[in-house]
A and B are shown apart, each in its own frame.
Chain A
Amino acid sequence: LSNHSLTVNIAGLDLKNPVMTASGTFGYGEEYADFLDLNRLGAVVVKGLSRQPKEGNPVHRIVETPAGMLNAIGLQNIGVKRFIAEKMPFLRGFDTRVICNFFGDSVGEYVEVAGMLSATDGVHALEMNVSCPNKQAGWCVFGTDPKVLGEVVSSVRKVCTVPLIVKLSPNVTSISQMARVAEDAGADAVSLINTITGMAVDIKTRRPVLANRIGGLSGPAIKPVAGRMGGEVFNAVKIPIIGMGGIFTAEDALEFLIAGARGVAVGTANFVNPSATDDIIDGLHRFLDAENINDINDLIGSLHRS
C-alpha cells in the first residue's frame, strides 16, 4: 500500500484509522478475535456496561426488517467489575484503542461507572449511552430531555479522566440541540446515531413481535437518516463526530467521513460479515489510492467546504 495516512485524532486520542466497532454489536472484542485481527481497528467499542450485571429484556429480542433489524436486548451485560477483571486483560493485548460504552439508571450510577472505567489501565475513552431510562425522573430517557442530558454529562465529565464521547439518540426533535447541550456540558466528542425506535407486528398473534414491544432499528435502512443527522450536527458543534448507522461498506463509511465524521462505527454489519471492519479499512486504503489523497483528514468534512 502507498504511504497515505488514515490516522485521525478524536478529542486528543490518535486512532490508526477512523474505523471502530459500534457498541453492542461486537461483544467485548473476544467474540470476533477469530474473524479478524483486532490490531487493525481504529478502536474497539465494547458492549454497554453498568454498575451491576444486567439480565436484559425477556425474549423475543430481535427481528429482521427490510434492510434492517429491530433489537430489544435490554443492555444485558456482565457489569463493570467483571468486565475490568475478566475482559480488559484480553483487550490490553491489542494495539488498538479501547472505548468503553457505559450507562446507568441514575446520575449517580453513571458517575460511579465512569469513575471506575476511566481509572482502568488500557481504557482510552468512554462512550456514554444516554438512550436508556432514568429511574429517578419517571423513566424518561436521559438523552431526550436537554436539561437531564446536560446534568448527567456534566456530572460524568467531572470524574472522567479520559476523552468522553456522548452517544446521541436520534429519537428527538432536534439532534443538533442535544449535541450542543452535550458539548456545553463538557463532552469531548459525540457519536451518532443510536438506533431508531421501531415496532414490528405479528399478524397471526396480533401482538408486537418483540417481547419488549418496541426495539431499536439498525442496519442499511437507517443510513440516510444517520447521514443527514451527522451533517446537521457537524454544523452545530465544534467537537468531533463519530458517525454510525447502517455502515456496511467502505463507500458507506466514506459518505459519513465526507459529511464530517472524524470516526465511523460499524454495527449490524458485523453480524452479517464478521470481518466487515477489516474489509472497510481495506476499502478506505483503496479509495485514497484511487483518488490520490494523502491524508484522510483532507476528506473529512469536505461536504461542507466549497
Chain B
Amino acid sequence: LSRHFAASVVEHHDVNAGFRLLTLSPDTPALPPEPGQFYMLQANTTFDPLLKRPFSFFSAADNTISFLYRIRGKGTRALAALDTGAKLSVIGPLGNAYPLPEGDYIAVAGGIGIASLYSLLGAVPGRALLFWGARNRNELLMPERIEPLVKTVVMTTDDGSVGEQALVSVAVKRFLDDHAHLPVYACGSTPMMKAVADVCAEAGARCFVSLETYMACGVGACLGCVVKIRTQEHPQGTFRSVCKDGPVFDASAVIWEGAGD
C-alpha cells in the first residue's frame, strides 16, 4: 500500500460560508489513517500553486477520506474549485496520531481545528468533554455531526453569537479547577493552543496539541515546518519536524516563541 496515490472527488460541498467538505476515493487501495494524521493534497497540475497543502483528515471510511477545510489562500481556492470526478494527487496518511485517551477526556477545538479533533471524537466516542470556540456562529461547523460523539459541549464565540462571549481557553481554565486529572487534546490557531497549553500547565493537566505550520514535503525531508521542542537531551529546545515528529506534541514540550503561523 502506497502513501502516494491518485484519488477522485466523490463529494464536495459547502458547509458554511468559506468552509467546504471534500470526500475523496483513492484510485488504488490506501492505508487507513489514525486519528490526528494528515494528508498532503494538490488539486492543480500546473506549477502555481507549486506545493501540496497539508490537511488533517476529518473522517475516513472503507474507501473514502474526507477533509473539512477553510478556504484561505491559493491552494485551498484551487481545491475548492474541484467538481465531483476530479482527480487529486495525495500523499498520506502522514505524521503521528493522538495518543488515545483511556476514559473521559477534554477536547478543545478552535475554529477549523475541529476538523482534526473530529477523528479523535469518532475514535473514542461519548467520552469527550468538548470546549469549542470560534469567531462566530458561522465557524462552528457541522454541530449535527459533532454533538452525537461527545459527552458534553461548551461553546464560546468571539462575538457572542453562540454560547459565552469568551476565548475558549477561559472556559477551559474554569473547568480545569475541578478536572485537571483529565487529559486535554487541543487543535486550533497557534495563539489559541498556546493559551490552552498555558492554562493546562497552570492546572497541572496533561495536554496534547496538534500544530499547524507551512510545509513543503510532509515527510521530514525539507525541514521547513520545524518547531522548537524541549527534549531530555535538549532542555532548551531543539527543532523537530511538525510533519514527521508531529503534528501532535505534548504541549509542555513546545516552545511557543516563533511556533506555527
Chain A residues packing against B (C-beta within 8 Å): 24-27, 31-32, 34-35, 55-56, 58-64, 66-69, 71, 73, 76, 211, 219-221, 248, 268, 270-275
Known: A67-B47, A219-B50. A58 touches B220 (CB 8 A): no
Least CB distance, A154 to chain B, in whole angstroms: 31
Q: Is the CB of B239 within 8 A of A76?
A: yes
Question: Among B15-23, B138-146, B152-160, B222-230, which stretch is in contact with chain A?
Answer: B222-230
Q: What is the interface size of chain B, counting residues whose CB is below 8 A from a CB of the partner? A: 34
A35 surroundings in chain B (CB, below 8 A): 2-4, 219
Q: In the complex, what residue of chain B is closest to A211 when comparing beta carbons?
A: B258
Least CB distance, A231 to chain B, in whole angstroms: 22
Least CB distance, A219 to chain B, in whole angstroms: 6
Chain B, range 31-75, C-beta contacts under 8 Å to A: 42, 47-52, 74
A76 surroundings in chain B (CB, below 8 A): 223, 226, 239
Q: B89 in the interface, Cβ–Cβ < 8 Å? A: yes
Q: Is the CB of B51 within 8 A of A271?
A: yes
Chain B residues packing against A (C-beta within 8 Å): 2-4, 42, 47-52, 74, 89, 91, 213-227, 238-239, 244, 258-259, 261
A272 surroundings in chain B (CB, below 8 A): 42, 50-52
B227 surroundings in chain A (CB, below 8 A): 59
A268 is contacted by which of B2, B50, B213 (Cβ under 8 Å)?
Answer: B50
Known: A25-B217, A64-B50. 6 other contacts (CB 8 A): A56-B223, A59-B227, A67-B50, A271-B51, A271-B52, A272-B51
B48 is contacted by which of A66, A73, A274, A275 (Cβ under 8 Å)?
Answer: A66
Cα-based distance from A268 to B52 in the complex (angstroms): 12
Least CB distance, B242 to chain A, in whole angstroms: 10
Known: A35-B2, A211-B258, A219-B50. A271 touches B216 (CB 8 A): yes
B91 surroundings in chain A (CB, below 8 A): 274
Q: Is the CB of A59 within 8 A of B213?
A: yes
Cα-based distance from A61 to B220 in the complex (angstroms): 14
Can you sample 16 A-B contacts with CB below 8 Å? A31-B221, A32-B221, A34-B2, A58-B258, A59-B226, A61-B223, A64-B50, A64-B74, A66-B47, A66-B50, A67-B47, A73-B224, A211-B258, A219-B47, A270-B221, A272-B52
Q: Is the CB of B258 within 8 A of A59?
A: yes
Known: A27-B221, A71-B222. A62 touches B216 (CB 8 A): yes
Most buried by B among A59, A60, A68: A59
Q: Is the CB of B214 within 8 A of A60?
A: yes
Most buried by A among B52, B214, B215, B225: B214
Known: A69-B50, A271-B51, A274-B91. A31 touches B223 (CB 8 A): no
